[in-house]
Structure 1
Amino acid sequence: MDQLPAVKKRIQSIDVLRGIVMIIMALDHVRDYFHSDSFQHDPLDPATTTPFLFFTRFITHFCAPTFVFLAGTSAYLIGLKKTKAALSSFLLKRGLWLVLIEVVVISLAWTFNPLYNTIIFQVIWAIGISMVLLGLAVRLPYGVIFALGALIVLGHNLLDYPEAAHNHNVPFIWDLLHDGRFDNVTLFPQHSLVIAYAFAPWTGIMLMGYCAGKLFTPTVDTIKRQKALVGIGLGLIVLFVALRLLNGYGNPLPWTPQKTGMATFLSFMNVHKYPPSLMYMCITLGPSLLMLALLENVQNRFTDFVKVFGRVPFFYYVLHLYLIHILTVIAFYASGYGTKDIVGQSPFFFRPLTFGYSLGVVYLIWIGVVLALYPLCRWYNKYKSTHSQWWLSYL
């Protein structure tokens, strides 16, 4: 097969949006480790949360779906420089590599448990296995890939009904596929697997992101691309509002009237992430596509700053988890805890259930983490742009 025209330069809007969501993502992880209430109550429960806490958690909903979607888009753009066979091989190898990294590197970052008593399948696992499946799918016609992605995104909530009928007591494979709700599966004595991200819905998002890559080919006019992104983004938001008002299909749990109007609004906006429901996808990807259109020709100090993170997302992801957990260890001892408190009721070492600070302190730590990682990410971005070793494409 003849090789298709290569992409001449990186698309800044993709890097900027990816950088924004990577920065926001760190806020949620800092909150997990440092907020005094993070292990006590669900920040999205309208009965117990506050608007500020709800927003702090809800804004981070945009991170995973946007990143997975853009990973699919990037795969399409990489395919402009490769044959289908070469792209398939690359995605298969990189996907399996990410699954291995999730088990060996990321789980350790979360737990700081060198014995690996708990392995957590989170977003890197979901991206990895979705990339493997995309690697198999790229050999199919574009229309078939689009149909598969749309079928998964629009239809996967049909599986909610048999899962609920069985009280979510489903086989292990089903947990991995769709039902995973932080289920704890015993692998062997004193070692377990926590399934946070069931992969099927995320695979649907990646397939749709891959298909959206067609909008970013060199032959597509900028205005046409922006109009398409705005139209799709607004359509997803309208679909969210319509489905949420119907309060039926598209989210496992309905919204309910609360004691106050604000609490009712929070209930309306509280959509299901584990696994990501259709409504969750609509209200996160819709605004993200609008942002992608608006960022097309924007270039200023802010975009220059955030796109650094967007160009080295995996490098940043690994570093930020280790840095946050190291800071937790420092705060752990500074707060008067000792060796006997390292292993607690949670799988995260050095993170007692009653440990933590106010949301204001959480935001300060988050800002500090981002600023501390910026020089390293800038250095690595410069290194990647001036070197061509094969392994750089895996990091």
Structure 2
Amino acid sequence: MTTPNALAVKYRIESIDILRGLVMLIMAIDHVRDVFHLGQPDPTNLAITTPILFFTRWITHFCAPTFVFLSGISAHLAGARRTQNQLSTFLIKRGLWLIAVEFVFISFAITLNPFYNILIFQVIWAIGGSMVLLGLLVRLRASVTVIGVIGVLIFFGHNIFDIVSPGTIGNTFIWKLLVSTNGFSAMVNVGNNHFFLLAYALLPWTGVMFVGYAFGSLYKTSVSAVKRKKVLLFSGLGLLALFFVFRALNIYGDPSPWSVQKTTALSIISFFNVTKYPCSLLYLGMTLGTSLVILSQTEGLKNRFASLAIVYGNVPFFYYICHWYLIQSFHIILFFVMGFKTSDIVNPQFPFLFSPQKFGFNLLEVYIIWFVVVFTLYWPCRWYSKYKKSHHQWWLSYI
């Protein structure tokens, strides 16, 4: 017989997987655009962007914060079936594994460079590094409350350095690695024509994971669904209110203020064009506020889209790895189909391979490729989801 508590746990997991599956699907849009959009115009450059191009980038802003936050919730749920020491060991091992995967498999998947001239510190690095730090705090017997408070302080306070200059330390490698990358272009030369691309400064994302870990306590069986949904909803609305008020007044939370532009559309774009590198408070308020509202409304949701999203949300890491290699398989195939030669593989003006200047497609064709990618991955994800449910090997917790 299925008890009410068992049903509640099932619904909680499904609501998380629905949201996680949704952002995983959206995430692929940005990666497909990065690889296939002709000329690779910057969607956030107000001088050249268009509403549809900006929206293509803006919608994917919701992915990384949501995924990191849900990773924090999942870490809390993992602790329900482990001792503190077991949870700490699991988080540290999984975090180090994710960092290794970022450098070995993801960096290659993005650059297609077998010599690894560029190692990219992206979202998997941020999740892995944050898990290691979370595991260390759990090892030190830090309570959920303490971890949550640390997360909140980082979450709301890290933009203080937009006001208080860090001085010369702001140009050091450690500062860029942990606190602020000053944009996506934080390229560090490590010698012998090798570079680190520090896209994600660690600590702002760690704050997101720690807050997610604290929110994981809402998923205890002792917490009613009504209370949980209310806390999620009002937390989300609170973050959205903070975003709109602080953004409108340009008072705190983002180093790039918005301004009135020559057209209404560009003014709206300027307003929503918040800073991701490093993730600003207003960027997190806009994205996580929306995600928390969605999470509050998807508990117990039953429809075709929910079932579809759950398939992807059940196996996010598997999907993430597969989607990059599938995108790049299409990339190489289309590279030769379009008539490019092996002499075009290396572009002296671009650090990634198979990306000559005239390679690419218009935005509509980019969306078609995105649909083909996520459609193709449905069956592998469904198979792996079923495999994980029917098998219990230790390594399944890491993929």
1:320 lines up with 2:323 in the alignment: yes
Matched residue, 2:383: 379
Q: How does 1:205-244 map to 2 (within 5 A)?
A: 205-244=208-247
**Partner Cα distance (1:217, 1:102) in 2:** 32
Matched residue, 2:87: 87
Matched residue, 1:175: 176
**Partner Cα distance (2:20, 2:80) in 1:** 20
**Partner Cα distance (2:199, 2:368) in 1:** 27
CA separation of 1:368 and 1:290: change in aligned 2, threshold 3 A: same
Amino acid at match of 2:113: N
- Structure 1 vs Structure 2 CA RMSD: 1.7
1:155 counterpart (114, 133, 157): 157
**Partner Cα distance (1:390, 1:282) in 2:** 36
1:263 lines up with 2:266 in the alignment: yes
Q: Which moved more, 1:177-186 or 1:298-307?
A: 177-186
CA deviations over 1:274-319 (Å, ceiling 9, x no partner): 1100000000000100100111121111111111111100000001
Amino acid at match of 2:372: G
Matched residue, 1:365: 369
Identity of aligned residues (%): 54
Q: Find the residue that maps to 1:296 and give its secondary structure.
A: coil
**Partner Cα distance (2:119, 2:375) in 1:** 29
Matched residue, 2:339: 336
Matched residue, 1:49: 49
Contact 2:144 2:213 in 1 (8 A): no
Contact 2:258 2:273 in 1 (8 A): yes
Contact 2:219 2:228 in 1 (8 A): yes
Contact 1:201 1:276 in 2 (8 A): yes
Matched residue, 2:131: 131
Matched residue, 2:97: 97
Matched residue, 2:14: 12
2:295 counterpart (287, 292, 302): 292
Amino acid at match of 1:363: Y
Q: TM-score, normalised by structure 2?
A: 0.94
Matched residue, 1:310: 313
Amino acid at match of 2:95: G
Amino acid at match of 1:95: G
Matched residue, 1:108: 108
2:354 counterpart (347, 350, 354): 350
**Partner Cα distance (1:19, 1:30) in 2:** 17
Q: Find the residue that maps to 1:119 and give its secondary structure.
A: strand
**Partner Cα distance (1:215, 1:243) in 2:** 28
**Partner Cα distance (1:228, 1:252) in 2:** 30
**Partner Cα distance (2:350, 2:222) in 1:** 52
**Partner Cα distance (2:329, 2:305) in 1:** 28
Contact 2:23 2:63 in 1 (8 A): yes
Matched residue, 1:144: 146
Displacement, 1:190? 1.4
Displacement, 1:346? 2.0
Contact 1:46 1:264 in 2 (8 A): no
Matched residue, 2:31: 29
Q: Which moved more, 1:140-149 or 1:373-382?
A: 140-149
Q: TM-score, normalised by structure 1?
A: 0.95
Q: How many residues align?
A: 388
Contact 2:130 2:205 in 1 (8 A): yes
